[in-house]
Structure 1
Amino acid sequence: MEPESNDQQIKELQRQVKYYRDLSDEVAGQNIRSDSQISLLKRKLTQKENGFTILSALHDSFGQQIFEEDFIVNTLLLINTTLKMDKTVVVWKAPGKNHVFQTRFHMGFEKSEVEKIMPVEIDFFEAEEKIVRPFIKNKMSPPSHIAEELQSKLLIPFFISVPIRMRSEIIAWMITGREKEAWPFYPILDEGDLDTLVSISGFLEAGLSNASLYNSLEKANEELESYNQELEKRVAERTKDLRKKNRELTFEKKRSEDLLLNILPEETAEELKKYGFAKAKLQENATVMFTDFVNFTKFSSSISSEELVAELDHCFRNFDTITTKYRLEKIKTIGDAHMSACGVTGDGGDASDVIRAGLEMRDFVEKYALEKPEHLRPYFKIRVGINTGPVVSGVVGLKKFSFDIWGDTVNTADRIQSGSIAGKVNVSESTYLLTKDLFEFENRGKIAAKNKGEIQMYFVERKVN
């Protein structure tokens, strides 16, 4: 009986060993599944966090970047850096072609690659149907003609492609992706990435289509609030940061308002804020002044571009100070020419203030010339031309708001400047008649002016004591 008892004990031990081995395998499997679920959860949280970061950054820049190119390029940079994409490209609808798109913006490409992707044309058509929805191309995606075409022509192996619409029409596609897909260092693109990029494309659409800066800011604020509410439900620890972003939004909105007042007259800015547009107005008695540097073309060829811009910036900064002093409205600069005026808004100086400003600008340039080497002094002389008459003032267009004035008075003022000589303030008869008791003038008689025939002109000598 003893051998049989030993056999039973051995079998019992073998059964126990197998039981604990199976139990160990089951526990290990549960741990692996748990680790996988935790890893997937971390991936989803990272996606949401990165999405919030880039959307917040886009929102913060929305009030500052009112130019289409700046806004799109900075968006591509945010996508590559924040979402860890290798390459991003925006293809724009080709003129006269219904569903063909051409490369317009790109980020992350080598110079040699840029030369390859710029001339390409992409036909967003699949199985004789126009493509209108966003899609993913990753390792698990089934083959498709459009995915292979994008891979080949845009040199991006794995990518997400989302449409950009304006007034319900697709005007562009944004394609962003990676060179590799290998977990965990190069995670496979998935629906979470797609959702983030669809949200980003919404920002691009808003930036391209909004009629005014303030409407755009309000829309961005509403969108960000929506994203904030969703994120607060999932990531409670981000609440403090969310409040900070809202304070920054208020600050940026105030900055954008200050910027608007810096580029537009207060009266025009208030009208734009109130109605979303500003009507052009006829100003019956405006005085327009042009200044222009003598021999500017020759001077520009004698120094570097950086030095030239620095010199112009120094002079125009002082000109702006002078126009502010005499309550003139700076209109614009064109190359080396500076244009300002009075009487184009509800408040400002008169014709005599414009002449005083012109004399002071001339005196500043002559004094500044003495600081320069002898061979450069001849270039630091300006001609000044002033004319008085009716103009139309206002803001035109929907983008890049710029206050301007139009009319024959403006063209004549430019001709008066061209008819002046270095170091002289030259005025028309209309300006002379308004200020003849305040200054001493030299009657030059009628001077030929391009496309204007002969114009009566006067040099301003000095103020009457």
Structure 2
Amino acid sequence: MLGLSPEEIIRKVKKPPPMCRPTVAPDQAPLECIQMMKQCWSEQPDRRPAFDDIFDQFKTINKGKKTNIIDSMLRMLEQYSSNLEDLIRERTEELEVEKQRTEKLLAEMLPPSVAEALKTGGTVEPEYFDEVTIYFSDIVGFTTISALSEPIEVVNLLNDLYTLFDAVLANHDVYKVETIGDAYMVASGLPKRNGNKHAAEVANMSLDILSSVGTFKIRHMPDVPMRIRIGLHSGSCVAGVVGLTMPRYCLFGDTINTASRMESTSLRM
């Protein structure tokens, strides 16, 4: 309406004074639109209406008439804002689910109290337990079974068997320490003390494991019976976290050594 080229208008807007603003005659647009335009280019920012206010004013100006381009643009902005909020909410929920999965996995690898301390960057001091019961078991003839099996078959065998053991553990007040090859190690009385119940908990767990092994079938050797040896011992020990890159909750003391010897010298089943 000023009869200037776009480049000239931009130059004048960029480098005042004088201020360069459109000149809109009353017959070229509704009066409310002209007033709103003037509010929007006000030199005082607090006088400029927000997008929500502009949208509301346009709805009033249109009064149900055909939507104009500005109204469409504002609707698109509003829709974009809404979609962005939904996307953020969705991503936040996904992040929370992943966080829960990570924490669950961490809790399965380390005692919850230890995991919590490591997450917050704290140090985990070694702890002395005056009475615990330790369980060890291994597979009878595992060397022979391994020699007659493919590596993947050995892994599947151990995974099947120890998944079965893990399910039994859920019914007792015990803590699975680790598996080393075909050896399976469990403790009761740590990291959560349980008075003098530890021996009974491990003994009952052992009976349940023996029962479950009796019906266990090796996938690639269904005719070969599964047999295990078990050793238990009660006493004192020290527990602590070893390593930073792959921290492990380890137990130390004669009680552990004795339980291991009880297992290695015991009769099958």
SS at match of 2:137: strand
Correspondences of 1:164-183 after superposition (within 5 Å): none
The change in CA–CA distance for 1:298 and 1:272 in structure 2 (over 3 A counts) is same
Correspondences of 1:231-246 after superposition (within 5 Å): 243=88, 244-246=90-92
> Which of the residues 338, 357, 364 maps onto 2:205?
357
SS at match of 1:387: strand
Match of 1:259, as an amino acid?
Answer: L
Match of 1:340, as an amino acid?
Answer: V
The answer as to 2:194 corresponding to 1:333 is no
| Residue of structure 2 equivalent to 1:283 | 129
Give, in whole Å, the separation in 2 of the partners of 1:275 and 1:284: 28
The change in CA–CA distance for 1:285 and 1:249 in structure 2 (over 3 A counts) is same
The answer as to 2:143 corresponding to 1:313 is no
The change in CA–CA distance for 1:373 and 1:387 in structure 2 (over 3 A counts) is same
The answer as to 2:257 corresponding to 1:411 is yes
Percent of counterpart pairs with the same letter?
34
Give, in whole Å, the separation in 2 of the partners of 1:287 and 1:394: 17
* TM-score for both structures, normalised by structure 2: 0.61
> Which of the residues 86, 99, 102 maps onto 1:253?
99
Correspondences of 1:192-203 after superposition (within 5 Å): none
The answer as to 2:235 corresponding to 1:389 is yes
Match of 1:392, as an amino acid?
Answer: V
| 1:264 Cα offset (Å) | 1.7
| 1:385 Cα offset (Å) | 0.4
The answer as to 2:179 corresponding to 1:342 is no
Q: Is the 8 A contact 2:157 2:218 kept in 1?
A: no
> Which of the residues 356, 359, 367 maps onto 2:215?
367
Give, in whole Å, the separation in 2 of the partners of 1:305 and 1:264: 28
* TM-score for both structures, normalised by structure 1: 0.37
| 1:336 Cα offset (Å) | 0.7
For residues 111-137 of structure 1, give each alpha carbon's deviation from its aligned partner in whole angstroms, at most 9, with x where no partner exists. Answer: xxxxxxxxxxxxxxxxxxxxxxxxxxx
Q: Is the 8 A contact 1:289 1:413 kept in 2?
A: yes
Compare CA radii of gyration and give the structure with the larger one. Answer: 2
The change in CA–CA distance for 1:421 and 1:253 in structure 2 (over 3 A counts) is same
SS at match of 1:421: coil
Correspondences of 1:258-277 after superposition (within 5 Å): 258-274=104-120, 276-277=122-123
Q: Is the 8 A contact 1:271 1:278 kept in 2?
A: yes
| 1:246 Cα offset (Å) | 4.2
Q: 1 or 2 for the larger relative contact order (CA 8 Å, sep ≥6)?
A: 2
Match of 2:229, as an amino acid?
Answer: R
The change in CA–CA distance for 1:413 and 1:395 in structure 2 (over 3 A counts) is same
| 1:329 Cα offset (Å) | 0.3
SS at match of 1:325: coil
Match of 1:384, as an amino acid?
Answer: I
For residues 46-65 of structure 1, give each alpha carbon's deviation from its aligned partner in whole angstroms, at most 9, with x where no partner exists. Answer: xxxxxxxxxxxxxxxxxxxx
Match of 1:263, as an amino acid?
Answer: M
Q: Is the 8 A contact 2:139 2:182 kept in 1?
A: yes
| 1:369 Cα offset (Å) | 5.0
Give, in whole Å, the separation in 2 of the partners of 1:277 and 1:397: 11
Q: Is the 8 A contact 1:267 1:346 kept in 2?
A: no
Give, in whole Å, the separation in 1 of the partners of 2:133 and 2:96: 39
Give, in whole Å, the separation in 1 of the partners of 2:267 and 2:244: 39
| Residue of structure 2 equivalent to 1:299 | 145
SS at match of 2:247: coil
For residues 139-193 of structure 1, give each alpha carbon's deviation from its aligned partner in whole angstroms, at most 9, with x where no partner exists. Answer: xxxxxxxxxxxxxxxxxxxxxxxxxxxxxxxxxxxxxxxxxxxxxxxxxxxxxxx
| 1:314 Cα offset (Å) | 1.3
How many aligned residue pairs are there? 185
Match of 1:398, as an amino acid?
Answer: L
| 1:315 Cα offset (Å) | 1.0
Give, in whole Å, the separation in 1 of the partners of 2:95 and 2:103: 12
Give, in whole Å, the separation in 2 of the partners of 1:370 and 1:246: 44
| 1:240 Cα offset (Å) | 5.9
Unaligned runs of 5+ in 2: 1-80
